[in-house]
């Protein structure tokens, strides 16, 4: 039995209900519970609640939210909790550490989101050390919002939990939480989050990227997935963070690497730290800048465009905030096996003093000779949606799937009387384009196209009648 519940102090007692003897008979009740979700059954009455908890291998997925500050009830049924999801003020960390000292031995997943609304950061000596080993715990998520919430106390809670989980395979942490991972020999997935603020002043040692580098070295041999996620666009300390860098060790088993903060977590000169020489099994790569005022990824891509087979094994590439379509056409040399490409550029930029954005047609033309089977785009809308799509006629002959989502642009306003498709070219031309150019693909999704109701209804009917793999949304 594996269900998710929330704390509920309002459990009713049905002792006075006439049919209660039948409903509480053990044989009848066990049979009834095979047809009722545990979450529902536990709310019926105290008898049912106890029966559910007494069933063999019963487990509970417990979520405690901001309005449930009292953690004491956990101890009464902690052995049944398999997944624990907590949103707590930092002042409650000592209470949490006390519970984790001996309770919840059967945890499989632990999710902790810490915030600071009281300003009462606990002292490190108030944190209890764990007295049990959690062999079933394989996934830990600990995030502080903002990152300035990170204190010595949270660091100790994190370290204790990690060290008591020898079979940990997945770990997600806020930047600034750098526990020793030498005992985590089964860890295959690591995610580092940053929300734009440095840790608080009373814990300065954790702001150094050298601590992150040391942590990565401890698990480099076994990692298969490494993600640097987050955004620092509004960081008050962006200049201090931007100058920091992290040395990535060779990772012989790494298959998936995501870096949404290339300007913070650097990947060496011309991305050499994540090249196939250091990450020989790397297949999926995602790169994005974290700040909107620094140079885009265009410069990075231009620098690697002449590096032959720099990413020899990468088949899937995702790029964020690219604005120069010419750098895309040069990807074949460093990415000889590239099969899937996704690009997101949904903000305006200034190039040579001119405000502009990447257009769909430019990308389609630039990707003609990359040998792609899938192309996904999330871009700003230009004035001629159909004209931009028609530019990909040659590319569509080799693609298997094409997904595009166009967001309204400040320099391209659309009113209710605008019809992106039929208004300029006529509905018959649109239908022929869908049939001849897009009809041969396996999957086509087009979002953000502005159409009048009559146009959308006709095209929907046309797509259904011709069994085309096309969806507008």
Find residue 343's DSSP bridge partners: 319, 377
Which structure tokens are listed for 192?
A: 């580092």
Which of 239, 261, 294 is the C-terminal boundary of a domain?
294
- Clarify whether residues 37 and 183 are in a common domain: no
| Domain, as residue range, for 222 | 59-294
- Clarify whether residues 10 and 98 are in a common domain: no
**Sequence-ordered list of residues with C-beta below 8 angstroms from that of 107, at least 6 positions apart, any chain:** 81, 82, 83, 84, 134, 136, 137
pLDDT tens, 347-397? 766 666 555 678 899 999 999 999 999 999 999 877 677 888 988 889 999
The confidence score (pLDDT) of residue 82 equals: 87
Which of 267, 294, 321 is the C-terminal boundary of a domain?
294
Average pLDDT, the chain: 81
**Distance between CA 305 and CA 61 in Å, rounded?**
49
DSSP E strands in 325-399: the ranges are 340-345, 349-351, 354-356, 374-380
In a domain, 44, yes or no: yes
The confidence score (pLDDT) of residue 235 equals: 46
- Clarify whether residues 78 and 35 are in a common domain: no
- Clarify whether residues 258 and 131 are in a common domain: yes
In 246-345, where does DSSP find H-type helix? 297-304, 325-328
As to burial, measured by CB atoms within 10 angstroms (0-12 exposed, 13-18 middle, 19+ buried), residue 453 is exposed
In a domain, 6, yes or no: yes
- Clarify whether residues 274 and 192 are in a common domain: yes
In a domain, 108, yes or no: yes
| pLDDT > 50? residue 113 | yes
In a domain, 353, yes or no: no
- Dihedral of CA 289/295/296/301: which sign? negative
- Clarify whether residues 115 and 200 are in a common domain: yes
- Clarify whether residues 31 and 106 are in a common domain: no
- Clarify whether residues 112 and 23 are in a common domain: no
Among 129-138, 241-250, 255-264, the minimum mean pLDDT is found in 241-250
SS3 label, residue 101: helix
In a domain, 90, yes or no: yes
Q: What is the pTM of this model?
A: 0.81
- Clarify whether residues 46 and 85 are in a common domain: no
**Distance between CA 160 and CA 183 in Å, rounded?**
12
Calculated CA dihedral for residues 113, 148, 220, 161, nearest 10 degrees: -40
In a domain, 333, yes or no: no
In 38-103, where does DSSP find H-type helix? 38-41, 46-54, 93-102
Which of 294, 324, 339 is the C-terminal boundary of a domain?
294
**Mean pLDDT over residues 290-315, rounded?**
84
**Mean pLDDT over residues 402-414, rounded?**
76
- Clarify whether residues 158 and 43 are in a common domain: no
In a domain, 170, yes or no: yes
SS3 label, residue 364: helix
Vertex 427: Cα angle to 421 and 431 (nearest 5): 95
How far is CA 465 from its chain centroid? 38
- Clarify whether residues 42 and 84 are in a common domain: no
| pLDDT > 60? residue 61 | no
Structural domain tally of the chain? Answer: 2
pLDDT tens, 34-60? 666 666 777 777 777 777 776 655 455
In a domain, 429, yes or no: no
- Clarify whether residues 16 and 102 are in a common domain: no
């Amino acid at each position: 039995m594996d269900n998710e519940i929330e704390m509920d102090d309002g459990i009713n007692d049905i002792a006075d209900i006439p049919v209660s003897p039948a409903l509480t008979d053990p044989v009848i009740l066990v049979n009834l519970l095979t047809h009722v979700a545990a979450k529902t059954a536990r709310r019926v009455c105290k008898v049912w609640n106890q029966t559910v908890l007494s069933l063999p291998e019963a487990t509970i997925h417990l979520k405690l939210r901001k309005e449930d500050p009292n953690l004491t009830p956990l101890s009464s049924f902690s052995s049944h909790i398999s997944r624990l999801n907590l949103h707590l003020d930092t002042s409650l960390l000592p209470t949490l550490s006390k519970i984790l000292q001996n309770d919840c031995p059967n945890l499989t997943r632990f999710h902790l989101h810490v915030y600071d609304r009281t300003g009462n950061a606990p002292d490190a000596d108030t944190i209890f050390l764990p007295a049990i080993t959690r062999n079933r715990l394989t996934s830990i998520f600990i995030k502080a919002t903002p990152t300035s919430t990170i204190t010595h106390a949270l660091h100790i809670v994190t370290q204790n939990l990690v060290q008591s989980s020898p079979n940990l395979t997945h770990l997600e942490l806020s930047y600034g939480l750098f526990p020793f991972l030498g005992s985590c020999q089964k860890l295959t997935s690591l995610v580092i989050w940053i929300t734009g603020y440095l840790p608080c002043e009373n814990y300065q040692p954790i702001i150094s990227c050298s601590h992150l580098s040391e942590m990565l070295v401890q698990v480099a041999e076994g990692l298969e997935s490494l993600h640097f996620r987050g955004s620092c666009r509004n960081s008050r300390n962006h200049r201090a963070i931007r100058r920091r860098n992290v040395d990535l060790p060779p990772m012989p088993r790494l298959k998936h690497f995501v870096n949404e903060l290339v300007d913070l977590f650097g990947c060496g000169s011309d991305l050499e730290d994540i090249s196939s020489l250091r990450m020989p099994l790397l297949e999926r790569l995602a790169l994005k800048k974290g700040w909107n005022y620094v140079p885009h990824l265009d410069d990075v891509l231009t620098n690697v465009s002449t590096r032959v087979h720099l990413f020899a094994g990468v088949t899937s590439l995702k790029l964020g905030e690219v604005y120069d379509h010419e750098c895309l056409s040069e990807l074949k040399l460093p990415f000889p096996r590239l099969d899937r490409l996704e690009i997101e550029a949904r903000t305006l930029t200034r190039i040579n003093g001119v405000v502009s954005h990447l257009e769909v047609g430019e990308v389609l033309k630039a990707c003609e000779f990359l040998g792609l089977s899938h192309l996904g785009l999330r871009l700003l809308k230009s004035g001629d949606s159909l004209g931009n799509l028609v530019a990909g006629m040659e590319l569509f002959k080799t693609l298997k799937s094409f997904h595009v989502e166009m967001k309204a642009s400040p320099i391209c306003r659309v009113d209710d009387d605008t019809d992106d498709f039929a208004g300029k070219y006529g509905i018959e031309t649109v239908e022929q384009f869908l049939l001849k150019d897009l009809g041969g693909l396996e999957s086509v999704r087009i979002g953000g196209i502005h159409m009048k109701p009559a146009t959308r209804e006709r095209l929907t009917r046309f797509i259904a009648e011709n069994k085309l793999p096309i969806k507008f949304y």
